Structure 1
Amino acid sequence: MTVSDPTFAIDPRHAQVARELYATARDLPLICPHGHVDPRLLADDEPFPDPARLLIVPDHYVTRMLLSQGIPPDRLGVPRRDGGPVETDGRVIWRLLAENWHLFRGTPSRLWLERTFETVFGVETRLRPETADEVYDAIAARLEEPGFRPRALFERFGIEVLATTESPTDDLGQHAKLAADGWGGPGGRVISTFRPDNVVDLDREDWSENIARLGELAGEDTLTYAGYLNALRQRRDAFIEAGTTCSDHGHPTARTEVLSESEAAAIYERGLRGEATPADAETFRGHMLLEFARMSLDDGLVMQIHPGAVRDHNRRLYAAHGKDVGGDIPQATGYVHALRPLLDTYGMDPRLRVVVYTLDEYTFSRELAPLAGGYPALFLGAPWWFLDTPDAMRRFREAVTDSAGFYNTAGFVDDTRAFCSIPVRHDISRRSDAAYLASLVVQDRLPLDEAAETLADLSYHLPKRIFRLDGKAA
């Protein structure tokens, strides 16, 4: 099979050096410290469903593009909140994608999918309306083979560790099953990430229910603020016992806030009474980032902060299909003043490690790179979500390297729900970084051997160290 070779280089010498560098990192194991693969996938290790339900239905990048052209998610098999009818025939869904494949020209969605077809399933036929059934049948045939079950693919992909994402109200049952099978727990290949947003966001419609569930799982009285904090500590301990090394915080803004215990308790109590205002909710989120940083000093969890998303901006889409179906939109996000309370308090403490992401790439050179270059606790996360594209990866390196260098960044994270796209995303990142490093080599700004060492660090060693996946104590 001939696999295409996008090097993301232009000049012939640049391309040659980029290929040489890429070859040194191509086969390094994959470190996946941040993502949203359902742990049930690997815990159950059942055969994947048909190609459409594997590759189209759960991919909100695909469904949102089609929605933008007037094709509703119902026709793509996306479940409805009310349980109403949606398309269930995978071949019909696949044909609909093929008929509209031109919409994805130049997009990363097309790149991820085509490379997945080619490198994961060995299907080289170009997707077109007239080849839809041929491609569908070829992938479907592969999915019936034992070598294409989730755990077999995990091994073939060369994944060393994969972190899923769960909330404090999850009992981690799937991770317990993985641990029993030798796949989870401390040092395991599949671990969880502690994401407490659903018990921190006072303006969530299910916040009170989540607080009750938190107290139940932790055996604490969450009707008091002190009991709430104790419950969070208890759940963090349970996650750490199951192998977790990181927490994850997806707030609307990067605001951090220092409150007294009495001030925080008063807001919390207003939340319990259903009287919290939007301002209360924002203040409480900012304060809890300080509380979680304090907890991290004790238990060693690496904090990940990725603000800037206006969740469920498309309200009709949310009303019909719920969260995570393509209705979120980036917004302008500030970091210099927003993070200052956190950095003033803990930014110089070597025990703390905070990885910050953004959806607002204009902040890379103006705010984030200088901040990461000035505080030992702060690292820059890779471009993600709307920015996880080859072009944005290149812009990221160009924007941050002057101020932050390479070693104040955290390496690559794939941040995906699409399990089969994981090796493709890592491969594209390695090619992109190889191309950037090659540009420094051909300009005589970096020796070739140092560029190769840097690429290995960005691809493997940095994420393993920074996300504390190397087994070393904080």
Structure 2
Amino acid sequence: MSLHPDRLFPADERTRAIAREIHQRTTDLPLVSPHGHVDPRLMSENQPFPDPARLFVIPDHYLTRMLFSQGVTPDQLGVPSVDGSPSEVDGRTIWRRFAEHYHLFRGTPSKLWLDYTFAEVFGIYKNLNAETADEFYDHLSVRLAEPDYRPRALFDRFNIEVLATTETPIDSLDPHAALAGMAAGNGRRWGGKGGKVITTFRPDNLVEPDWPGWAERVKQLGEITGEDTSTFDGFLAALRARRQDFIAAGATCSDHGNATAGTVDDPVKAAQIFDRAIQGEASYLEMQSFPAHMLIEFARMSVEDGLVMQLHPGSLRNHNEWLYKGWGRDVGGDIPRATEYARSLKPLLDAFGNDPRFRLVLYTLDETTFSREIAPLAGGYAAVFAGAPWWFLDSPEGMMRFREAIHETAGFYNTAGFVDDTRAFCSIPARHDVARRVDAAYLSRLVADHRMTEDEAAEVAVDLAYNLPRKIYGLEK
């Protein structure tokens, strides 16, 4: 197995040569990761990673989803069950099963990321299959036991400048406090190269009343903040207070994974729904509409405290009911669905879309909205930016379609740059490498068509990879 130096570049030799030159300008840039789901305890505790199966396979729903589609059930891959039913616990057995099916990932972004990680991070330049499974497992196990492969060492080696994690308002911020203490102790940011880990405010589990345990979590929020969350005003006060805790822990953004982009600006109605939901009397339609009311409230808070607002709508969560009941959330059972933005966001944009204190980054799983809605909104409101291709669209093809659809209306500078949005820490450099190569390929075509000079394209590539995410997500401070 080899990583071709021209991977993802155009086939035409002249355009490929241009892409090489553009890409070269981004290869040594630090990695900026303003949105992701890495556990901050990796950095604060700095313990060795577990065995290869528990590092690569069990937590990665990209992998388990594909394998399940071919008949390999989650319990065979070691995914913990909801009711405690037995799952495979032997890491080597899980790894062998994964290796036997590695051919399923041919041509997918998962294989691009994994091949890069195996080669560039762990030094394995072989093809993974049933015959090489044990060799891979042994090699990875040896490396994972070495100090140079602990999380902080890899953080520095990956040249990460900023890594944003994601926590809910009732999650502990102690790992971030520990990292801040390390920084204070040595007079610099905790990483050897000065990188930092920050948090992101993600309140989804407090704004969806039909999410099991919602009332208990609202009560817990009140206990954490000292506010009376039995009332809507107290609930909002508690959220404001908790946002300040997150800002103190480095947060520059909030993140919202609502089912839709719907917004409703009616605080009186929102309070009525909240009161009924607390009493367990809210109707299904009221519970479904409450997140739309809360997006307005969170936008209002963003104007007050400066957190950049990210909106990630459009996932039909837990579509595979059998999978959800057996193994819970975030194991591969979610499906994208059509999402409408222009009408849905109008109440929010009427209120805040032209306010210089507000910034909204829009993501989508519905790529039909790229040119029809996302680009015009980003090009028509000072507060709105188009977020990177996300989740099912985080692929070379999806990224290229995004550039082709967005650029003609919004340009490059109404986009927010790349985010890796990953739980898989070791894949971070691979994901950034893919994004930078795809951008170089797209820009090389503009140069070859004489729509842009090579110097301009190189400048844009650097902005997309580094300057724009720092600026849009408030990381220049």
Give the structure-2-normalised TM-score: 0.96
Is residue 193 of structure 1 aligned with residue 200 of structure 2?
Answer: yes
Map 1:160-171 onto structure 2 (within 5 A): 160-171=161-172
3-state SS of 1:391 partner: helix
Among candidates 308, 319, 323, match of residue 317 of structure 1: 323
Aligned-residue offset at 1:168: 0.5
In the TM superposition, residue 98 of structure 1 has moved relative to its aligned partner by 1.3
Once the two structures are superposed, the pairs formed by residues 307-346 of structure 1 within 5 Å of their partners are 307-346=313-352
Distance of 1:237 and 1:116 partners within structure 2:
37
Which residue number corresponds to residue 126 of structure 1? 127
How much is the aligned-residue C-alpha RMSD, in angstroms? Answer: 1.4
1-structure distance, mates of 2:207, 2:453: 48
Between the aligned partners of 1:158 and 1:226, the Cα distance in structure 2 is 44
Q: How does 1:98-113 map to 2 (within 5 A)?
A: 98-113=99-114
- Identify the residue that residue 403 of structure 2 maps to in structure 1: 397
> 1:3: Cα distance to partner?
4.0
Q: 2:210 pairs with 199, 203, 208, which one? A: 203
Q: Deviations over 1:353-375 (max 9, x none)?
A: 00000000110011110111000
Q: 2:293 aligns with which of 279, 287, 293?
A: 287
Query: Measured at CA, do residues 327 and 142 of structure 1 come closer, stay the same or move farther in structure 2, by a change above 3 Å?
Result: same
Contact kept in structure 1, 2:8 and 2:396, CA below 8 Å: no
Please show how residues 21-420 of structure 1 align to structure 2 within 5 Å.
Answer: 21-182=22-183, 183=189, 189-259=196-266, 261-420=267-426
Q: Is the 8 A contact 2:420 2:431 kept in 1?
A: yes
Q: Which string of whole-angstrom CA distances, capped at 9 and with x for unpartnered residues, describes residues 193-230 of structure 1?
A: 00011111111111111101110111000000110000
Map Cα deviations across residues 150-203 of structure 1 (whole Å, 9 max, x no partner). Answer: 000000000001000000111211111111122579x97000000011111111
Q: Secondary structure at the match of 1:79?
A: coil
Q: In structure 1, how many angstroms separate the alpha carbons of the residues matched to 2:199 and 2:444?
A: 35
1:63-109 CA-partner distances (Å, limit 9, x unpaired):
01111111110010111122222111111111101111121111111
Cα deviation for residue 9 of structure 1 reads 1.1
8 A contact 1:7–1:15 mirrored in 2: no
Of 305-314 and 137-146, the range deviating more from structure 2 = 137-146
Structure 1: state its 5+ residue gaps.
Answer: none
**Shift in CA distance, 280/223, structure 1 to aligned 2, threshold 3 Å:** same
Name the amino acid aligned to 1:402: E
Contact 1:293–1:303 at 8 Å: present in 2 too? yes
Hey, what's the Cα distance between the residues in 1 that align with 2:218 and 2:290? 15
Contact kept? 2:156, 2:195, Cα under 8 Å: no
Aligned residues of 1:75 and 1:93 also touching (Cα < 8 A): yes
How far apart in 2 are the matches of 1:334 and 1:10?
36
Report if the CA contact (8 A) 1:302-1:352 is conserved: yes
Amino acid at match of 1:388: D
Does 1:437 find its partner at 2:443?
yes
In structure 2, the CA distance between the partners of 1:101 and 1:188, relative to structure 1 (3 Å rule), is closer
Which residue of 2 is the match for residue 468 of structure 1?
474
> Is the contact made by 1:184 and 1:242 (CA closer than 8 Å) also made in structure 2?
no
After TM superposition, give the deviation of residue 278 of structure 1 in Å.
Answer: 2.5
Structure 1: how far apart are the matches of 2:84 and 2:467? 45
In the alignment, structure 2 segments of 5+ residues that lack a partner are: 184-188
Matched AA of 2:116: R
SS in 1 for 2:264: coil
> In the alignment, what sits opposite 1:4?
4
Name the residue aligned to 2:186.
Answer: none
1:219-243 CA distances to partner (integer Å, 9 max, x unpaired)? 0000001100000000001100111
Deviations 1:301-339 (A, max 9, x none): 000001000111111111111111111110000111111
AA at the equivalent of 1:74: D
Counterpart among 442, 449, 452 of residue 458 in structure 2: 452
| 1:138 Cα offset (Å) | 1.4
Letter aligned with residue 163 of structure 2: L
Q: How many angstroms apart in 2 are the aligned matches of 1:30 and 1:275?
A: 48
Residue 39 (structure 1) shift: 0.6
- Give the deviation of 1:2 after TM superposition: 6.5
Q: Do the aligned residues in 2 keep the contact of 1:171 with 1:217 (CA within 8 Å)?
A: no
Alignment partners' CA distance in 2, 1:26 and 1:425: 13
Q: Is the 8 A contact 1:383 1:392 kept in 2?
A: yes
> Matched residues in 2 for 1:2 and 1:275: separation?
60
> Which residue identity does 1:246 align to in structure 2?
C
Distance 1:154 1:83 in 2: 34
Distance in 2 (CA, whole Å) between partners of 1:69 and 1:3 is 27
- Letter in structure 1 aligned against 2:157: R
The percentage of counterpart residues that share the same residue type is: 60
Letter in 2 for 1:4: H
Task: Provide the C-alpha distance between the structure 2 equivalents of 1:402 and 1:32, rounded to a whole number of angstroms.
Answer: 26
